[in-house]
Amino acid sequence: MAELSVEEAQRLARNFLTGLAGDADVSRLESALADDQTLALELLAQMQTALEDVAPEGLTQDQVKSVDARVEALVGPRIRRRGLFGIFKRLFKRRRKPVPARVAKRPEAPEPEAAPAPAPAPVLESPALPDGEGMEEMAPIAPSAPLPSEALAHLDGVEAAPAEAPPAAASGPGFPWLALLGGALVLGLIALAGSWAWARHRARPKPAPVLAAAPPPSHPAAPAAPAPAPQGPAFAQRGLVMATKDGIDTLPAAIPPTTPQAAGQLP
């Protein structure tokens, strides 16, 4: 329907609000109002002018609560949740898909030493690339350039439903940070496991005092030498114990002197 002229819109709005509009005018107003924004604004302007910009009483407290709940019910389903779980899910989705493609390419290569096949065409030049494959390669090419919505749509088009898929969740500016966060999490776990293993290792009984406290049966009269206090590095402690207990000549020939002090005691 063609837009009404300003004068015609004013006349229709005025006649309706004052009760002078006939049935034909009301029908015309109804049909034009959906398309003609001027007519709606004219109706509002005349109403505001009549009430001198003083709005009448609005919603009651109970109605406010009801409206809040109903508006929330409208807005809530339209919010796209991007929680940590969803982000990791998307990351794993994107990393899992290229694997079969690489595995499938290997049998085609005649020799393992041969140079790998050239990478597929860049993402932005390949309209048929499905599921956002190669998005990791795309990021360094244009890290900050805004991607056209068509390109984003084609990148995400196959994998996600158009109504629900966040179009640029993995290729957006937050993606490297999230990857870093995941990496830091993994490194933290590794460090935790390492420190636990080190603590267990430190808690084990040391072998050297056991050797010093239990003399071999071939020297029953030998006075039990007091176990030296463990000082210095572990290899120095082991050398001192062996020199005290069995004599220098009992040192295995294969073991070279490891400290200058030990080297000085050698013949």
Partner 1 sequence: MTDEEIYHGAMDGDESALRELVDSTREHVEKVCAYFLGGDESLPGAVVGTYSRALNTLTKHGAPSLPLRSWLSILATQECFPTLARLRADYDQQSRQLEDLAGKIPTLVEISGDAKERVNFMIRGDIEDIPTQHRQVLSMAELEGLHTLELAKRLGCSWATAMNRLVAARHALSKRVRESFGL
**By the criterion CB under 8 A, which residues form the site for partner 1?**
16-21, 26, 29-30, 33-34, 37, 40-41, 43-44, 46-48, 50-52, 54-59, 63, 66-67, 70-71, 74-75, 78-80, 166-167
Write down the least CB distance from residue 29 to partner 1, Å: 8
Residues 69, 92: Cα–Cα separation, whole Å = 36
Write down the least CB distance from residue 134 to partner 1, Å: 23
Instruction: Give the residue from 245, 239, 243 showing the smallest Cα distance to 225.
Output: 245
Write down the least CB distance from residue 44 to partner 1, Å: 5
Amino acid of residue 17: L
Choose between 48 and 126: whose C-beta lies nearer to partner 1. 48
Write down the least CB distance from residue 82 to partner 1, Å: 9
Residues 74, 27: Cα–Cα separation, whole Å = 31
Q: Which H/E stretch holds residue 198?
A: helix 175-203
- Cβ–Cβ under 8 Å, residues 156 and 165: yes
List the structure tokens of 82.
């991007």
Choose between 21 and 170: whose C-beta lies nearer to partner 1. 21
Write down the least CB distance from residue 37 to partner 1, Å: 5
Instruction: Give the residue from 149, 159, 120 showing the smallest Cα distance to 136.
Output: 120
Instruction: Give the residue from 150, 113, 104, 153 showing the smallest Cα distance to 130.
Output: 153
Choose between 21 and 241: whose C-beta lies nearer to partner 1. 21
Write down the least CB distance from residue 35 to partner 1, Å: 10
Choose between 39 and 240: whose C-beta lies nearer to partner 1. 39
- Cβ–Cβ under 8 Å, residues 134 and 102: no
Choose between 62 and 249: whose C-beta lies nearer to partner 1. 62
* Region class of 38: left (phi > 0), else alpha (psi between -120 and 50), else beta: alpha
Choose between 39 and 129: whose C-beta lies nearer to partner 1. 39
